[in-house]
Chain A
């Protein structure tokens, strides 16, 4: 069984401030982990993925995430928020030995203030 917990349904930051979106996972096997972004009225877009290579993963739009096995975490960060980063962010986990179908968290809405 696998699951994802995203802490905080809403995160509010000022433009230029650090963005930190939290994700903790539960998996019976070493997982694959993903972050997706969803803009209003659009589908999900993959930001980055961890597939057991480097633990620090860089994605698009300046985002990165670090896999920490000891903390079962995969938090998403960006050094400086931009207004265009305002969106819904989803963390997801999948089982490499299975069908790769991801299990998604409930999402975190990022609000960026000018």
Chain B
């Protein structure tokens, strides 16, 4: 596609509910990143995929967070038993490859509100 697409754009969940956030990267991009951006803060790294392999998940805040990219394209970030502190904008970015010469292109994000 023309850019990184994320859906839904907005999600309201009741505390304890499970949610799934989708990211469609730019076609052909090998690397995919998830970030969490709390209100008034910069993005914080959650996890990174190279093709279907999850190479780094050091930023996932708890075992309630799970990400997958089974076919090396679309990725899903799942949050189980959501808590109020999970409220944030979740950003997805993709790049052609790994390395600083490969610019990360960001989606518009999914704004998650947990009530």
Q: Which residues of A contact B (CB under 8 A)?
A: 4, 9, 32, 41-46, 49, 51, 90, 92, 94, 96, 99-107
Contacts and interface: CB of A to CB of B under 8 A. Distances in A.
Interface string B40-58: 1111110010000001100
Given A41-B108, A45-B106, A99-B55, A94 B43 contact: no
Contacts of B44: 104
A100 B56 CA distance: 12
A109 to B, nearest CB: 9
For the residues of B in contact with A, the DSSP-based class is loop
B100 interface: yes
Nearest to A109: B40
Interface of B: 4, 33, 40-45, 48, 55-56, 91, 93, 98-101, 103-109
A107 B42 contact: yes
Given A99-B56, A101-B48, A46 B41 contact: no
Point out which of B4, B43, B91, B108 has the most chain A C-beta atoms below 10 A from its C-beta: B43
A100 B98 CA distance: 7
A43 B98 contact: no
A96 B100 contact: yes
A99 B91 contact: no
Contacts of A44: 43, 91, 93, 104, 106
B42 A100 contact: no
9 interchain residue pairs of minimum CB distance: A43-B106, A104-B42, A44-B106, A32-B100, A100-B100, A43-B108, A43-B107, A104-B43, A90-B42
A94 B100 contact: yes
A103 B98 CA distance: 16
B98 A99 contact: yes
7 contacts: A44-B104, A99-B48, A101-B56, A102-B104, A103-B45, A104-B42, A106-B40
A43 B93 contact: yes
